[in-house]
DNA sequence: CGGTCCCTTGACAGCCGTCAACTACCGTGG
DNA sequence: CCACGGTAGTTGACGGCTGTCAAGGGACCG
């Protein structure tokens, strides 16, 4: 029932049997079955427990006063929701299911206790959290810099690699239970435009869509289009963490080199 | 030299003198003076220390292969950079100064030791980290849903409130050392368009700009335009954490209510 | 069979990126 | 003092991207 979590943590540390038992006990609550498109936690609600998704899909989102809605992240099987938040904090986003799902509520205190007793588990969770953070940073880059085609391709790649990591892709096909409205809310375009972008990708023979699924016809080309670096999900082990520093062309570099000295005029500063 | 950090942590917990001393010792390294627009840490570099900004401005950013650049967050006086990252992790973004700055490098191990010895400090840091996270979530919402005018207004409001919290605004005026190119890289528009958006805000008498500064002429109107909720920076105390749950109109609600029962068809699921 | 979601399409207008040229300002050096 | 060069800000023209509106079509479910 909690193999996904064990598998994930094993990517970062070797789990002792005590640690395994701790996780097992943590996940011993009775699973809840929740239908598609149901609110799990509303924005501003206090978090009494950490939702742990066993099956299904969910997403976090924010709704502006006038109804505009932005999906911030997907919540896939094996994911723990925001385990790093301090006790007593409130949800900064709402959380809802996308399709029929099964989840467990892990008491926050039990989680804190376990991590306190096993600091290495805490370490592993923090490594796991870095992946989540990196996904959200990459979403900022997408929304700020990538074209809508690229954003859509990037979203597909992200989901593909994440589902692959938990054994939920079949060759090049995967489930994609998102409506085009949800795709739009994710990549920051209207529903109509989400439709056009998806059609575009289909017409270019990059993807194929069926019922509630999607097949990637040319992963390499899709990733190139998305400027997608699969490494960013590969914080699998400490040694392989992120990619090596790379010098890049473009705006950043010359900007930073065209300056004199490292010491600034003291007249402007005081400690 | 480290009053800003002490002040920030005091928002979340009452600091004991031991904890104060710990922080003081943590900040006892010799400050570095760094000129404007200089690279502090490149993407992919290993983090040996936690940069702590005493004065000046910096930002984190990512550069795509073709040179497109997205600024992810601003780094203002009193900010600690990414203190939550596990030891040995690599920078997911690059970090550079925006103007002449002074910073301290806090050894990661010392930080970890201190937090381990004083769990309440760890708690306070995590509350502080939530503010950072919320800013980055709000940036996703901005880039995905707000118009460029709204995004620009939102950026100004965010900076205004953050500078105000550290006593760096004078009435309604503040420093704004960003070039229009940097504004563009922040709100996801071209430099030319950043210029047009700023002109727009000036023409509507919302802001006034001078040399390297900005005056907000009508904060209420600017915040309304930005759909800006100052509460999101107000995680000052646990009790005031975030805003209370609010029912909203729009897309979210009806979507989630139009479903039957809470239990899904068992045929689709298995534990 | 009717209703509800969801997907699709076309028309149109407005937002925004790009290109190119020009201006203003500053600090430097002659 | 002025000339100069570099950076940053500004403008106009143009085309492509994208939102909106409105209408239609198809799949599924009761």
**Residue pointed to by tokens 């700023």:** B198
State the pLDDT confidence band at A100, using cuts at 50, 70 and 90: very high
Q: How far is CA B98 from the centre of its chain?
A: 15
> What pLDDT shows up at residue A247?
33
d(CA A18, CA A43): 36
Nearest nucleotide, CA A209 to C1': C7
Structure tokens that stand for A147 in this block: 């074209």
Q: Which residue is nearest to nucleotide C5 (CA to C1')?
A: A179
- A28 touches B: beta carbon within 8 Å: no
Nearest CA in chain B to A103: B271
State the pLDDT confidence band at B194, using cuts at 50, 70 and 90: very high
- B92 touches A: beta carbon within 8 Å: yes
Does the CB of B53 sit below 7 A from strand C?
no
pTM reported for the whole predicted model: 0.89
**CA dihedral sign, ordered A29, A30, A36, A42:** negative
A158-191 tens-digit pLDDT: 999 999 999 999 999 999 999 999 999 999 999 9
Buried b (16+ CB within 10 A) or exposed e, A156-180: bbbbbbbbebeebbeeeebbbebeb
Strand C bases near protein CB (under 7 Å) are 4-11, 15-20, 26
Burial class, B17, CB count within 10 angstroms (exposed 0-12 / middle 13-18 / buried 19+): exposed
Contact (Cβ atoms closer than 8 angstroms) between residue A194 and residue A234: no
Say which DSSP state A188 is in. Answer: T
> What pLDDT shows up at residue B1?
63
* Whether B241 and A139 lie within 8 Å, measured CB to CB: no
* Whether A64 and B130 lie within 8 Å, measured CB to CB: no
Q: Which residue from B150, B151, B47 is spatially nearest to B92, judged by alpha carbons?
A: B47
- A102 touches B: beta carbon within 8 Å: yes
> Strands (DSSP E) along A22-128, which ranges?
32-34, 39-41, 49-55, 58-63, 69-75, 94-97, 101-107
**Chain B 2-21, residues with CB within 8 Å of chain A CB atoms:** none
A221-268 tens-digit pLDDT: 999 999 999 887 765 444 333 333 333 333 333 334 333 333 332 223
> What pLDDT shows up at residue A234?
65
Does the CB of A148 sit below 7 A from strand D?
yes
Measure A252 CA to C27 C1' (Å): 24
> What pLDDT shows up at residue B140?
98
What's the gap in Å between the CA of A250 and the closest CA on chain B? 4
Nearest nucleotide, CA B36 to C1': D7
B22-40 tens-digit pLDDT: 999 999 999 999 999 999 9
Using a CB-CB cut-off of 8 Å, the residues of chain A touching B137 are 62, 72, 92-93, 136
């Amino acid at each position: 029932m909690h193999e996904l979590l064990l598998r994930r943590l094993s990517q970062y540390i070797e789990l002792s049997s005590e640690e395994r038992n701790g996780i097992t006990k943590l996940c011993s609550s009775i699973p809840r079955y929740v239908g598609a498109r149901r609110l799990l936690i509303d924005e501003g609600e206090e978090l009494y427990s950490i939702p742990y998704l066993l099956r299904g899909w969910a997403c976090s989102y924010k709704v502006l006063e006038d109804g505009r809605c932005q999906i911030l992240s997907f919540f896939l099987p094996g994911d723990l929701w925001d385990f790093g938040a301090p006790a007593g904090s409130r949800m900064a986003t709402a959380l809802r299911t996308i399709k029929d799902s099964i989840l467990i509520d892990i008491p926050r205190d039990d989680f804190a206790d376990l991590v306190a007793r096993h600091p290495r588990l805490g370490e592993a969770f923090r490594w796991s959290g870095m992946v989540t953070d990196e996904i959200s940073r990459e979403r900022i880059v997408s929304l700020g810099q990538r074209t809508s085609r690229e954003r859509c391709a990037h979203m597909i790649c992200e989901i593909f690699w994440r589902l692959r990591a938990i054994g939920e892709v079949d060759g090049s096909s995967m489930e994609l239970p998102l409506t085009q409205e949800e795709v739009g809310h994710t990549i920051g375009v209207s529903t109509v435009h989400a439709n056009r972008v998806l059609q575009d990708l289909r017409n270019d023979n990059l993807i194929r869509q069926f019922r509630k699924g999607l097949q990637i016809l040319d992963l390499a080309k899709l990733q190139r289009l998305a400027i997608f670096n699969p490494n960013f999900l590969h914080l699998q082990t400490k040694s392989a963490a992120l990619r090596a520093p790379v010098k890049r062309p473009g705006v950043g570099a010359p900007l930073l080199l065209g300056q004199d000295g490292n010491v600034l005029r003291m007249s402007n500063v005081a400690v």
